[in-house]
Chain A
Amino acid sequence: MIQKIRVCIWDEDNSSRAGMLRVLQNLEQYQIIEYHDGSGGIGNLESLRPQALLVDVDYTIAQPEKLIPQLRKAMPGLKLVALGKRWDENARARYEEMGFDAMLLKPVDVESFQRALEAAFAVKARLGNNCQVLSFFSPKGKSGRTTLIVNLALALARVSGEKVGIIDAETNFADMDAFLNLNPRSTIVEALRDLNYLTSGTLEKYFEEVSDRVFVLCGAKTPQQAAFVEPEGLTKLLEMARPSFRYLLVDLAPGFNAISIAAAEASEKVYLTTMADGTFEMKHLQRAMEIFRSLDNWQQRLGCVITRMTPDVRRAKELEEEIGCPVTLIPNEYLLCSIAANNGRMAVDIGSGSLLTQQIDRMAFAIHGEGR
C-alpha cells in the first residue's frame, strides 16, 4: 500500500478551498486535508500532522514572515507551499526568502500541484539562486552560435549533473527546432503570452526535452510571431525559468536590438561569438565589446568565443589581450557540425573525442568550475 503524503490546504476562502479539494482529492500519492479557523491563526493545525501545507498568502495569512518560524518550530520538516493569485518574481523570491519551498498559482491544477510538491520534497528543491543565465551574442550571423549553444548545453548538463535550459530568443529565424529536429508544441511566443498565469513549474511544460537533462524553449516559428517577443517579457521569463535550471543558455539574434540588450542585462555571463573568416570579424567584435563594456561588472561578465579557429593557447592569450576578456577558440569541424545539424543531433554526441568536443567540454568545465 502506498504511504500517502498528507497535504493540508489552508485557505480561509471556503469556495476556493472547496475547489482545490475537488481537484486534488483523488490523487493516489496524496491525502488532502483542509484547515481554516477564521482568524488566520495556526490554532489546531499541528494536530492534523500535515507533511506539506499549501497556504493562501494573499488573504489568509497577514504576516507570513512571522507565521513561518512558528510553523517551522511546531512542525519540523513541514514543506510549505505559498498559494498566490498572480506570478510575480519578486514575490516568489520574497516567499522563498521567508522559507517557503515552492509557490503555486490559484486555481490549482493537478500537474502544477504535483510539480510543486515534487520540488518542495526534492533534495535540491531550490535552484533559483544557483542558476546562471548565459547569453550568446554575435555581431553578425553564421558565427556558429547555435551549434555552440546546443553542444555546450549537453556538456554543461553532463559536467554539472543538473538540468540545463536553452531559450531560443532569435527574433527572426529561430533555428533551435531545426537544429534539434523538434516539432515543438509551444514556443517562446506562447510562453510569453501565458506568462502572467505561469509559475516556474508550469513554465517547464513549454520546454521540449532534448535529453534527460537538457530542455529547450524553441523560438518563434515565423518572423511575424517574433514581433510578440518583447524585452520586458523576456526578462520576466528568464527570472521565472531560473528556479528550474542550473544553467540557462540564451540564443540571440545577430546585432544589437532591444531583446539582445535585455537578455545581456539579465545574464550572469554574455558570450560574444564570432567566426574567424579572415575578413573584418575582429573589428566587429571590438566594436561590440565597446557597447558591452557599459554592463555592470563587465570584466566578470564578458567572454568571447571565436569559432572556426584551431585551439592554440598562445593565440588565445594574444586575443584576450587584444579584446580585453577571456577567449575560447572552437575549431572548424564543418562536416561534423553539419551532419549533426542535418540529423537533429549534437556534434558532441556523434563526434565524441573530436577536437570540437574537447574544447566544448573544456568550456563547460570552466563555466561550471567558476559558477560553483
Chain B
Amino acid sequence: MVKCMNNQNPKRKRKNEAVKGSVFTFFSTASAVGKTVLAVNYAADLAERGYKVCLADLDLQFGDVCNYLGITPTQTFFNYYDQEEDRRDTAAFITETQFGFDVLAAPLEVDEGFVIDAETILQAINQLRDDYDYVLLDTTTGFTNISMAILEQTDVLYLPCVVDFIPSIKDLKIGLETLHKLQFDYQRMRLILNRNKAETQISIKDVEAIVGRPFQYFISNDYQGIMQSIREAKPVVLTEAKNKLADEISDMVSEELGEKEETSSGLTGWLGSLFR
C-alpha cells in the first residue's frame, strides 16, 4: 500500500530558489551494494518532505532506476546528449514519477550509454541544480572520467557497502584511499553499512579498523522487503506498513537535513558531521 502523498504535483516549486540545489551522489567501490535502492528511497523521502528532487540515473549502460520505479521513459539522458551543446536543457528530458520526484533516465540502449561523456554530464548536473532543491545521482562502481567529474560536483557522497567477503573490504579500503588522494573531503562522505547483520563471517569492527573509518549509517538487511518493493515498483519509504529499513533511510535523510534532534555534539546534519 502506498502512502497518500502530498507531493503529487510534479510542477512543485523549489523551497529555496536563491541557491543552487545540493548534489547527493550514491557511489560504491563494489557492485550490488544497494546504491539504486538507497537513491530511489532517499529521493522519495525528500520529495515526501516537500522538496523538489531529481534523481539522475548515471549508470548509463545498465541503469535500474526506471526498472525499480516501474516507469518507461520516452526521453533519456541520451536524448539530452544528442542535442547541440548550447541547446541542451534537462527540463525537456525529465520523466515525472507518481512518487513526487523526477527522474533523468539512463539511456535505453547500451551503446547509447557508451558514448556519453563527462562534459555532458557536468552540463546536465549544473542545469539540474538550477531547477531542483536536491539532485541525486545514482552511479556505477569505480573510478572513471565520468565518476571523477561527478565527484567534483558532489556535495555529499553516500558510499554504501556490504560486508560479505574480504575482497570487498579490500576494494572499500582502496576506494577510500583513492578518494583521499583525489582530495575528496571526508567530511562530505557518509559510509553506509547496508544489509547490516546479513550472513557474514566478518566483524564490523574489523572492517572499520581496516578501512580506518567508522560506518555512519546502518541499514538493515531486508531482502524480502526490497524484493517486494521492486516487484511492486514502490519505494519502501512510501509504504504505510511499519518498516525498519524505511525508518532507517528516513532517519538518514533527517540527519542530513539537520532535522534530527539528538547527536553527541548537539549539532546535526552536515554541519554536525564537521565536528564529529
Contact = CB atoms under 8 A, between A and B. Distances in A.
Given A140-B32, A142-B30, A341-B167, A279 B230 contact: yes
Main secondary structure of the interface of B (DSSP, over half): loop
Contacts of B67: 279-280, 283
A334 B164 CA distance: 9
Interface stretch (A27-35, A126-134, A152-160, A167-175): A167-175
B1 to A, nearest CB: 22
A173 B175 CA distance: 8
A201 B256 CA distance: 57
B177 A254 contact: no
Contacts of A255: 61-62, 140
B174 interface: yes
Interface string B28-66: 011111000000000000000000000000000110100
B110 interface: yes
A175 B111 contact: no
A175 B142 contact: no
A49 interface: no
B interface, size bucket:
35 or more
B275 interface: no
B184 interface: no
Contacts of A342: 165-166, 201-202
A256 B110 contact: yes
Interface residues of A, number: 39
A77 interface: no
Contact of A146 (B144, B167, B178): B167
Contacts of B181: 224
Given A175-B170, A341-B166, A142 B32 contact: yes
A341 B142 contact: no
B110 A291 contact: yes
Interface in B43-96: 61-62, 64, 67
Contacts of B199: 334-335
A146 B170 CA distance: 15
B171 interface: yes
Q: Which 3 A-B residue pairs are closest in the complex by CB-CB distance? A: A141-B31, A172-B142, A142-B32
Interface of B: 29-33, 61-62, 64, 67, 109-111, 114, 140-144, 164-167, 170-171, 174-175, 177-178, 181, 199-202, 227, 230
Interface of A: 139-143, 146, 171-173, 175, 178-179, 221-224, 253-257, 275, 277-280, 283-284, 287-288, 290-291, 334-335, 337-339, 341-342
